[in-house]
Amino acid sequence: MAMTVTAPRFAGEGKISFAERAVRDPGPGELLVKVHANAICGSDREQYRQGSDIVPGHEAAGVVAAAGAETTVPEGTAGVVFLMDYCGACRGCTLGFTNQCLAKRADMGFTRDGGYGPYEVVHESNFFPVSKALSAPEATLLLDVMGTSGHAVGRAQLVRPDIESAYIAGAGPIGLGLLAMCKVIFGPDFPVRISDLSERRLELARSLGGEPAEAAGDGAVRAPPPSDIAFDSTGNHMARQAALTALGQRGVLVCVGHGQTLTLDVSPDLIAAERAVLGSEYFRYAELPRNLDRLLDNRDYLARIITHRSDVAEISGAFETFFAGDTGKVVITQGGDW
């Protein structure tokens, strides 16, 4: 079934064209996935601006079009693609920490062709089947929006068992995911304060049950009430400092967004207040089944995070819209729904 397809080509400087791309047959243990949806992520920014020899896209949902030898997933199965093509044999993987694999075979959309193309070849081990009762765009919520955000909440729970409030720096897709997952995990009345410079994103956060915090022009937040946990989804230095400041005693700051620095005065910031600062990288493959149940139980609520859907033919405009900074999740679709 080796074929040539037309796929987006990221040329750099925000220019996306289309070019022919070879798609190989799936080998032993591999699946050929027909992509139906791929959500745009802030992590696509470098490829969008600098260009890429790889077809980007790491939040893909699709259907198995062909299965290689030694696989068990039937053709026609719908599912999502786990970003990290983990080895399954290293210490990290055998303990279940597939997001901390010590011998990754690839990062889908970064080192191997991803989901903005019409097909991608994946190992069966990083394909997660889902019900076709969900639409393909809804299924992408299982990845960064729910997976990355839910994992970050879980990291905070490791340190702080009596969580009663949260603060979130940034109301982009990950920040909105953190807000929504806090509501799903702790309950609809759980108080979440959230900051952002975009009024549109704050309005979306408010509609999801968040309480917008007043932001200053430099990204800092003025006198937020103390919270038990705080998340930085931005990677911005000032936003991270504001999140640290938002914490009360025994508070936990979880840094989710890659980027800039955090400055700590250890005695007052950590020791005296017994605070903790954690990192959170993507999520474990084993978290997908529980999040699928959560998505099915909260489908209408979580789907509101998707504010724009665009056909792949309009991918350039979709990226411009997303990086203008006023959207929720933007999803690229192709080939109709499954």
Residue range 122-137: mean pLDDT, rounded: 97
Helices 173-186, 149-159: axis angle to 10 degrees equals 50
Query: Which pLDDT value is given to residue 307?
Result: 98
Both tokens assigned to 323:
């990086």
Q: Which fold has domain 3-129+306-333?
A: Quinone Oxidoreductase; Chain A, domain 1 (3.90.180)
Pick the CATH number of 145-279 from 1.10.760.10, 2.40.30.10, 3.40.1130.10, 3.40.50.720: 3.40.50.720
Both tokens assigned to 312:
């792949």
Q: Is the pLDDT of residue 304 over 60?
A: yes
Of the candidates 287, 301, 253, 293, the one whose C-alpha atom is nearest the C-alpha of residue 273 is 253
Residue range 86-96: mean pLDDT, rounded: 98
Residue 241 contacts residue 265 (beta carbons within 8 Å): no
Q: Is the pLDDT of residue 126 over 90?
A: yes
Indicate the domain borders of the chain.
3-129+306-333, 145-279
Number of Cα atoms under 13 Å in the Cβ half of residue 82: 26
Q: What is the CA radius of gyration of the chain?
A: 20
Per-residue confidence band for 1, with pLDDT thresholds at 50, 70 and 90: low
Q: Is the pLDDT of residue 309 over 60?
A: yes
Query: Which pLDDT value is given to residue 173?
Result: 97
Both tokens assigned to 160:
């702080």
Residue 307 contacts residue 13 (beta carbons within 8 Å): no
Spacing of C-alpha 235 from chain mean position: 14
Q: What is the pLDDT of residues 161-177, one digit of tens each?
A: 999 999 999 999 999 99
Pairing of strands 227-232, 166-169: parallel
Per-residue confidence band for 2, with pLDDT thresholds at 50, 70 and 90: confident
Query: Which pLDDT value is given to residue 222?
Result: 55
Residue 117 contacts residue 35 (beta carbons within 8 Å): yes
Residue 25 Cα distances to 56, 63, 112, 277, angstroms: 19, 15, 14, 45
Q: What does the alpha-carbon distance between residue 286 and residue 82 come to, in Å, rounded to a whole number?
A: 11
Per-residue confidence band for 273, with pLDDT thresholds at 50, 70 and 90: very high
Query: Which pLDDT value is given to residue 225?
Result: 75
Q: What is the pLDDT of residues 188-221, one digit of tens each?
A: 999 999 999 999 999 999 999 999 986 545 555 5
Residue 201 contacts residue 330 (beta carbons within 8 Å): no
> What DSSP string describes 230-272?
EEE-S--HHHHHHHHHTEEEEEEEEE-S-SS-----HIIIIIT
Spacing of C-alpha 139 from chain mean position: 12
- Which tops the pLDDT comparison, 231 or 335? 231
Of the candidates 192, 151, 190, the one whose C-alpha atom is nearest the C-alpha of residue 168 is 192
- Please give the share of the chain, as a percent, with pLDDT higher than 90: 95
CA 37, 6, 110, 51 dihedral sign is negative
Of the candidates 222, 264, 212, 268, the one whose C-alpha atom is nearest the C-alpha of residue 242 is 222
Residue 250 contacts residue 228 (beta carbons within 8 Å): yes
Query: Which pLDDT value is given to residue 219?
Result: 52
